[in-house]
């Protein structure tokens, strides 16, 4: 008896769960190792190693439970026909509110409202446990008020931004004709540019406070570095990341001649040596100078164009919709089904993108080193690893499959090997 499309999708989901669980067990075994890798011996203190080991093992145990519950729910939703049942129920709700059940846009928005509520109900216990048990136990957490406030703000943003976006997608699919893939890709391309423009200016400030970096040695050094690389720095901000977590970061954003640099206050607190902070900025500027952001942006949109092209080939297949329990072919459901049918391709693409991202990180490290920041970058990477309690021991298979950033050991080895080649 031949498998239906839905059964094949559920089967692959279960196979991928088993494969990724195998990788998780390999990583869990690596986390249990009682000693530091040779590269980090004498670099990371035993106290920090023990704290890191305990934190990562806590997260690993939690991850096993979370993933098991998630795959059970996801597989059940598809296998037992909960998806088409929920779609019909969301449509039946519309007449009760005095709305037209036959309007696909209204039906879709009703469906998505239910999905958002369901997601919050099922995800909230895990989020609360992760944030206020695991993270709090190891010194990383935000207050319950901030958690609730961020949750409410996120839902409000979804309510405000979601309907216009979803309505536009449905309209394009209904009216797109033979050039549907081109119209969808063009819409997503323009939307991504708009969001990249407005997110740091209008949306990010809803969740964090951005203040100009005060005048002083650090600001002068960053401006001097940016000027030496012809980076068109317009504004230099500090964001209050410490209100939510002790984890650190820095990033660049902006188009053309209007660039900004943002430092997390936790980065300034942990890397108290100005040269170390500037080394991190040199790494980020390396990504800009080597066009990594542009290459990633282009790659993502090329892949998106292929996905939309594939979607246009299957969106009118009544057999595929029926295998998932649908006797109609709604646009959103078609997109959901298509995303499930290309899961094998998505896993391969994700793995490939991770490999490229890791290569970019090594290149950005090498760029900072050529500017004379090797020792400072090395020292700051170690401090950030210590303070974030990131995994010191990693399984090679797990790292290659999941990590878009190379583990600290690999980055330090790469920096040191570069030195040896120059000697």
Cα–Cα distance for residue pair 206/116, rounded to 1 Å: 21
Whether 351 and 219 share a structural domain: no
Active site residues: 284, 365
Question: How confident is residue 420, by pLDDT bands cut at 50, 70 and 90?
Answer: low
Whether 148 and 245 share a structural domain: no
Whether 82 and 136 share a structural domain: yes
The burial of 290, by beta-carbon neighbours within 10 Å (0-12 exposed, 13-18 middle, 19 or more buried), is given as middle
Residue 406 predicted with pLDDT over 60 = yes
Comparing 20-34, 282-296, 340-354, 366-380, the range with the smallest average pLDDT is 340-354
Whether 231 and 360 share a structural domain: no
The pLDDT value recorded for residue 422 is 46
The pLDDT value recorded for residue 18 is 96
Residues 6 or more apart in contact with residue 228 via CB below 8 angstroms: none
The pLDDT value recorded for residue 244 is 59
Whether 26 and 96 share a structural domain: yes
List residues forming the annotated binding site for Zn(2+). Answer: 283, 287, 361
CATH number at residue 252: 3.30.2010.10
Where b means 16+ CB within 10 Å and e means fewer, 65-76 reads ebeeeebeeebe
The pLDDT value recorded for residue 423 is 43
Cα–Cα distance for residue pair 328/130, rounded to 1 Å: 40
In a domain, 204, yes or no: no
In a domain, 345, yes or no: yes
Q: What residues make up the domain containing 259?
A: 210-270
Whether 303 and 247 share a structural domain: no
* Between 317 and 357, residue with greater pLDDT: 357
Whether 299 and 411 share a structural domain: yes
Whether 44 and 162 share a structural domain: yes
- Straight-line distance from the first to the last Cα atom of the chain, in angstroms, rounded to the nearest whole number: 66
Per-residue pLDDT tens digits for 330-344: 999 998 998 888 888
Whether 407 and 266 share a structural domain: no
In a domain, 282, yes or no: no
The pLDDT value recorded for residue 287 is 93
- Contact (CB, 8 A) for 258 and 288: no
Phi-psi category of 47—alpha, beta or left, where left has phi over 0 and alpha has psi -120 to 50? alpha
Residue 2 predicted with pLDDT over 60 = no
Instruction: State the total domains in the chain.
Output: 2
Q: What is the mean pLDDT of residues 321-330?
A: 90
Q: What is the pTM of this model?
A: 0.85
Whether 131 and 217 share a structural domain: no
Per-residue pLDDT tens digits for 131-149: 888 888 887 766 777 888 8
What's the number of CA atoms in the CB half-sphere (13 Å) around residue 122? 14
In a domain, 132, yes or no: yes
């Amino acid at each position: 008896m031949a498998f239906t499309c839905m059964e094949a999708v559920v089967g692959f989901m279960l196979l991928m769960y088993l494969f990724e669980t195998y990788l998780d067990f390999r990583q869990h075994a690596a986390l249990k190792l009682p000693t530091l890798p040779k590269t980090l011996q004498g670099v990371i203190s035993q106290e920090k190693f023990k704290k890191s080991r305990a934190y990562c093992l806590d997260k690993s145990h939690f991850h096993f439970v979370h993933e098991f519950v998630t795959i059970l729910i996801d597989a059940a939703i598809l296998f037992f026909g909960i998806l088409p049942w929920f779609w019909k129920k969301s449509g039946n709700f519309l007449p009760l509110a005095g709305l037209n059940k036959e309007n696909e846009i209204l039906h879709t928005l009703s469906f998505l409202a239910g999905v958002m509520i369901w997601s919050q109900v099922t995800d909230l216990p895990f989020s609360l446990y992760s944030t206020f048990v695991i993270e709090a136990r190891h010194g990383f957490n935000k207050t319950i008020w901030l958690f609730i406030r961020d949750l409410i703000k996120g839902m409000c943003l979804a309510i405000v931004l979601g309907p216009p976006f979803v309505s536009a997608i449905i309209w394009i699919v209904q009216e797109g004709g033979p050039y549907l893939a081109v119209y969808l890709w063009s819409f997503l391309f323009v939307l991504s540019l708009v969001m990249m423009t407005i997110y740091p200016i209008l949306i990010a400030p809803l969740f964090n406070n951005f203040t100009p970096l005060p005048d002083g040695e650090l600001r002068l050094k960053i401006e001097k570095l940016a000027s030496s690389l012809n980076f068109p720095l317009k504004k230099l901000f500090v964001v209050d990341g410490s209100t939510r977590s002790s984890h650190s970061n820095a990033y660049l954003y902006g188009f053309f001649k209007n660039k900004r640099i943002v430092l997390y206050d936790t980065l300034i607190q942990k890397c108290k040596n100005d040269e170390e902070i500037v080394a991190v900025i040199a790494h980020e500027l390396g990504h800009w100078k080597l066009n990594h952001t542009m290459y990633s942006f282009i790659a993502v949109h090329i892949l998106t164009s292929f996905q939309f092209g594939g979607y246009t080939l299957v969106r009118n297949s009544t057999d595929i919709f029926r295998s998932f329990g649908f006797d109609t072919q709604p646009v959103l459901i078609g997109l959901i089904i298509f995303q499930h049918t290309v899961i094998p391709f998505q896993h391969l693409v994700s793995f490939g993108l991770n490999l490229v991202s890791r290569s970019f990180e090594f290149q950005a490290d090498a760029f900072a080193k050529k500017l004379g920041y090797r020792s400072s970058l090395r020292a700051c990477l170690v401090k950030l690893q210590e303070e974030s309690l990131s995994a010191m021991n990693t399984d090679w298979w797990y790292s290659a499959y999941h990590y878009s950033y190379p583990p600290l050991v690999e980055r330090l080895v790469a920096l040191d090997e570069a030195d040896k080649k120059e000697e």
